[in-house]
Chains A and B, each alone.
Chain A
Amino acid sequence: QKEVEQDPGPLSVPEGAIVSLNCTYSNSAFQYFMWYRQYSRKGPELLMYTYSSGNKEDGRFTAQVDKSSKYISLFIRDSQPSDSATYLCVTTDSWGKLQFGAGTQVVVTP
């Protein structure tokens, strides 16, 4: 069983729509959760991190964590073409080694 699973997409949405991304993890020891954005052939860029169940909002981005079901979500409101990228669900148990999902490719069409 993979440690972190994401639907690879691509997920295509029209500009202005809400992008909804999901991720599941298998190891209950994971307690820190991050979403990174990666443009083609670039390094991952941290969008949000959280360490508790519940919602965390930052501008157009909302991260949601449900530790009881090992389920993580990222919502992007008012999506823009510049949001077109691969979104990586990432987790760790103790701020050591990161476990990456395979990423979900998002395409926002004008």
Chain B
Amino acid sequence: AQKVTQAQTEISVVEKEDVTLDCVYETRDTTYYLFWYKQPPSGELVFLIRRNSFDEQNEISGRYSWNFQKSTSSFNFTITASQVVDSAVYFCALSEAGGTSYGKLTFGQGTILTVHP
């Protein structure tokens, strides 16, 4: 069965610090998809990134970067020079590509990030 673990329940940093959110996953499928979503205090879910299991290239988007390592089953998310607006709950999620998966997402527990001015 698929599983996603975000071991960091809460992280607190001061503005301009770099912060890394950890995500470890378990799956028996060789093909799968990994996602990160952001949930700001307003409550909606904001898509950040989707990565398939065949693409291990790191991704950078502005202050955001993602490190995907199949060898350790990890898909970590780093925010460089954090800002107060980054304060949110961040979710990592996994979708197996098997025939009966139908795109179902398994979410981690979420990491609450608080960035202080």
Query: Does A associate with B in a complex?
Result: no
Residue numbers of B with Cβ under 8 A of A are none
